[in-house]
């Protein structure tokens, strides 16, 4: 018999993914997609109609493509949510842009649209 702690957490061999689901027109559509995904062995899924996303935990024998194929066989589109790139501090670039000035230093003229007036004089 499995302990409560074991039942509450997915196995270490599981993976998680988030899918963008297209073509859902109502909450029943989301329930249908969720039901189809949850019928797959080793899959636990929740589908949110409002965000058009599915959060899926799946076992070692499955691939992301298997999940997408199941959603597509159900009559909807699916694609993985792109994971944001992690930037290292060195790859993030300088903290200040070339147009940023340090506090206490005079700022350069704004490169935004100008009038024909000479700087420091009012336009007439």
Q: Give me the pLDDT at residue 85, please.
A: 78
- pLDDT of 123 higher than 80: no
Q: Give me the pLDDT at residue 1, please.
A: 46
Q: Which pTM does this prediction carry?
A: 0.59
Q: How many domains is the chain partitioned into structurally? A: 1
Q: Give me the pLDDT at residue 8, please.
A: 45
User: Which residue range is the domain that position 31 belongs to?
Assistant: 12-80
Please state, in angstroms and rounded to a whole number, the distance separating the CA atoms of residues 58 and 17: 8
Reported as a pLDDT band with limits 50, 70 and 90, residue 90 is low
Instruction: Collapse the DSSP code of 59 into the 3-class scheme (helix H, G, I; strand E, B; otherwise coil) and give the result.
Output: coil
Evaluate whether residue 69 is within a structural domain.
yes
Please state, in angstroms and rounded to a whole number, the distance separating the CA atoms of residues 38 and 68: 13
Reported as a pLDDT band with limits 50, 70 and 90, residue 92 is low
Evaluate whether residue 123 is within a structural domain.
no
Evaluate whether residue 60 is within a structural domain.
yes
Please state, in angstroms and rounded to a whole number, the distance separating the CA atoms of residues 100 and 57: 45
Evaluate whether residue 102 is within a structural domain.
no
Residue 114 exposure: Cα atoms within 13 Å on the Cβ side: 10
Q: Give me the pLDDT at residue 124, please.
A: 54
Reported as a pLDDT band with limits 50, 70 and 90, residue 103 is low
Q: Give me the pLDDT at residue 88, please.
A: 65
CATH of the domain at 44: 3.30.70.100
Evaluate whether residue 6 is within a structural domain.
no
Evaluate whether residue 18 is within a structural domain.
yes
Please state, in angstroms and rounded to a whole number, the distance separating the CA atoms of residues 76 and 22: 6
- pLDDT of 6 higher than 80: no
| Burial (Cβ within 10 Å: 0-12, 13-18, ≥19) of residue 57 | middle
Evaluate whether residue 116 is within a structural domain.
no
Q: Give me the pLDDT at residue 7, please.
A: 42
Evaluate whether residue 7 is within a structural domain.
no
């Amino acid at each position: 018999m499995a302990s409560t702690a074991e039942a509450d957490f997915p196995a270490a061999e599981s993976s998680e993914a988030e899918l963008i689901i297209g073509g859902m027109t109502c909450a029943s559509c989301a329930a249908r997609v969720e039901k189809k995904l949850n019928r797959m062995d080793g899959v636990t899924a929740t589908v949110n109609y409002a965000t058009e996303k599915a959060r899926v935990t799946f076992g070692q024998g499955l691939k992301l493509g298997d999940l997408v194929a199941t959603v597509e066989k159900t009559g909807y589109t699916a694609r993985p949510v792109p994971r944001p790139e992690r930037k290292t501090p060195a790859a993030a670039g300088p903290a200040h842009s070339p147009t940023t000035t340090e506090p206490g230093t005079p700022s350069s003229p704004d490169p935004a649209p100008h009038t024909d007036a000479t700087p420091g004089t009012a336009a007439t």
